[in-house]
Homo-oligomer: A and B are copies of this chain.
């Protein structure tokens, strides 16, 4: 779960990381008031969960409250990479003398968190990592011992931080590490961390991603999810514990298991078709979940055929079959469906569907080819 910049900054502030004075606003008149409070020179920052906000004109430096209001009006009307801007963060303008990157992320290859630091902050850190890997300091953190002081000093040394700032730098990283652990983050990042004209460190931008699996122990953080950043269909799917991601094709997919769902999309592609979505109904899907999934698939009007591929382990084929019947009766589905049910309670599931009018197939390849040809308007 990605947090917005202002949410991430609020978390960092709780851990003693210095952030600019600022407030969140939803209207340009609020922005003007905040800019007046902050003394006039402010940065108006669109709050959307995509990169490249600056390039898209979603971050503007205003010299006066009036200018701030004007910029806010423009930004609050924007869409950035398809996402509408509904909120802006108004931060006091900070004069920057140097920029750094610091972040803590999960490193799946080394199976532990890694502290990443660079003297080349502010720029696209991924580009730096590719072109000048020696400019990126990587320090792995023992997850039982935690981040040690010497490691934070090594980071300071590695990015050539002036010695006078080591102490406050270490406090920043300590806060970042504590935030990362306490919030079950998979990423906690400050880019850029700057030295301002008073020679203090300030976190100008902030990004936190929370591990979705950990939300059971962070009821407070769960509320921070920004629904605006997701497709409405994705939000609807999440309510039912279903993972849905919209794709560009015209074959609606419903599969159990992420790996099988990907393989199903891949095989459609192999036979000349294209999936309209990734949809994993998860393990042990109930008939209600199945029906809801079908509804979500059908909300995409490009869908020309539906491919249901269920291999029952925890999931029972009879439950899935019931759900399909339920939904096709309710929704009076006219779009052709290819249904493949294998595994736990396979016989019972196929029995339920036998009387209804679904195209069935034994092999995955046959089923995929059928779905592709149906999408192309051929009769089954």
Interface residues in chain A, defined as those with a beta carbon under 8 Å from any beta carbon in chain B: 144-145
Contacts and interface: CB of A to CB of B under 8 A. Distances in A.
Contacts of A144: 144-145
Nearest to A146: B144
In order of increasing CB-CB distance, the 2 nearest A-B pairs are: A144-B144, A144-B145
Nearest to A143: B144
Contacts of A145: 144
2 contacts: A144-B144, A144-B145
Nearest to A142: B144
A113 to B, nearest CB: 15
A193 B145 CA distance: 32
A98 to B, nearest CB: 33
A23 to B, nearest CB: 35
A141 to B, nearest CB: 13
Nearest to A145: B144
A144 B144 CA distance: 6
A132 to B, nearest CB: 36
A181 to B, nearest CB: 13
A2 B145 CA distance: 29
A143 to B, nearest CB: 9
A221 to B, nearest CB: 22
A145 B144 CA distance: 6
A144 B145 CA distance: 6
A145 B145 CA distance: 9
A126 to B, nearest CB: 33
A144 to B, nearest CB: 4
A344 to B, nearest CB: 31
A178 to B, nearest CB: 15
A247 B144 CA distance: 45
A145 B142 CA distance: 12
A353 to B, nearest CB: 45
A42 to B, nearest CB: 41
A375 B128 CA distance: 79
A110 B310 CA distance: 53
A144 B142 CA distance: 10
A140 to B, nearest CB: 16
